[in-house]
Amino acid sequence: MRLLPETAFGNAIKRILPRSLLGRSLLIILIPLVLLEAVALQIFYGSHLDVVSRRLAGAVTGEVAYTLDLMNRFPGEENRHWILRQAWDQFHIKMVLEPGAHLPDRHSTNILGPMDDDLAAALEERIGRPYLMDWTSDPQSVLIRIQLPDGVLYAEAPRKRLYTGTIYLFMLWLVGTALLLFGIAALFMRNQIRAIRRLSVAAEAFGMGRDPGPIRLEGATEVRQAAIAFNRMQERIRRFLAQRTEMLAGVSHDLRTPLTRLRLALAMIPPEEELKQEVTGMTADVEEMDRMISGYLAFARGEVTQQAEPADLSSVLEEVADGARRAGAQVELRVPPSLTIPLRVDAMRRAITNVVDNAKRHARHVLLAAAPQGNRNVQVTIDDDGP
């Protein structure tokens, strides 16, 4: 089942998502972890913190409203000073009345969170007079200004009485535990992915003709089973190549005997003029078959057992060109000073020599060139002016 349909949005999401197995595994771990943290934060922030904030705001607002009720019940300068002093002694809320003052024409300065909204709702419900709140001027207090008929009441409520500090501890706990769990999961997943990467590197090397040897068994059970299956496959392929090589060597040796008899029979034919052309053609065919058998025997002797090792391809091409020049061919060489790549030197020399020999038999001029193609490949070009 496809989770992302074949649409423009789905294709854009696929381009953003990681391609590696480690990245996708970490994403599978990270998404449920983030959702879990979001649900926990919503439960705490949306319910518990909201309830606590409303109760704290209601308590502070009730104390201010109680002070205003006492001032209305017992008017007079002396009573007002006594009531405001009692408010400080009992509630730890500093209140000052400025007679004849008016609220400035501006909005309240709030902060992010439910505390300011809960305090505003409590002031409107309990007091019902114009007010202003300032949460930013004083880091220790919340400044509340309330418009009264005879002036403005300034109240400084301690900030710690309007919100709980556990929200920061809770956020720290959420983020800290999430990072710790994600780090542990990433460490374990990296160790598991390492075994899969080694298996892929060994499979690529074996597919390119190198012999990485048996893979060390590590990682999860499924990865170990894949490594065991790969080791068995390597062993079966090696046995198959060894059996094929032995069979090819035996057939080549067997063919040597009839070729020797054919060469002897051709040598015993009387040197008649009308048979000279046919004998020459038959001798050339026998020599060509002998060269083919020699090549098969050379392959059987060492090409399978030879491992690819870093070697200078430019030196190999120069040796091939020098050999062709000694045989009378006109060979032009265009290679960089050094091309070091992993290769089987003998097999590469034999393959290029065969192609160059074929070119010099049918052409007068042969071009042998080599140029890097990317970081891992080299293109060898053999060109001639023959048919």
Domains of the chain: 55-162 (3.30.450.300), 308-387 (3.30.565.10)
Contact 357, 288 (CB under 8 A): no
Structure tokens at 298: 């050379």
Helix residue spans in the chain (DSSP H):
8-16, 21-43, 49-73, 77-91, 114-126, 166-207, 221-268, 273-298, 313-326, 345-362
**CA 177, CA 187: separation in Å to the nearest integer?**
15
Q: In Å, how far from its chain's centre is CA 232? A: 30
Quick one: pLDDT at residue 9? 62
Structure tokens at 46: 């949306």
Quick one: pLDDT at residue 82? 92
Side-chain-side CA neighbours of 208 within 13 Å: the count stands at: 16
SS (H, E, C) 240-266: HHHHHHHHHHHHHHHHHHHHHHHHHHH
Give the CA angle between residues 270, 272, 276 to the nearest 5°. 100
Contact 352, 382 (CB under 8 A): yes
Query: Where do we find the tokens 């009692």?
Result: 86
Q: Tens digits of per-residue pLDDT, 25-83?
A: 777 888 888 888 778 777 776 677 778 888 888 898 899 999 989 988 888 888 888 99
Quick one: pLDDT at residue 167? 67
Q: At what angle do helices 313-326 and 345-362 cross, to 10 degrees?
A: 40
**Which segments in the chain show pLDDT lower than 50?**
1
SS (H, E, C) 301-352: HHHCCCCCEEEEHHHHHHHHHHHHHHCCCEEEEECCCCCEEEECHHHHHHHH
- Residue 109 is given by DSSP the state B
Structure tokens at 96: 């000052």
Structure tokens at 57: 């705001």
| Reported pTM | 0.43
Contact 147, 101 (CB under 8 A): no
Please state the length of the chain.
387
Q: In Å, how far from its chain's centre is CA 163? A: 43
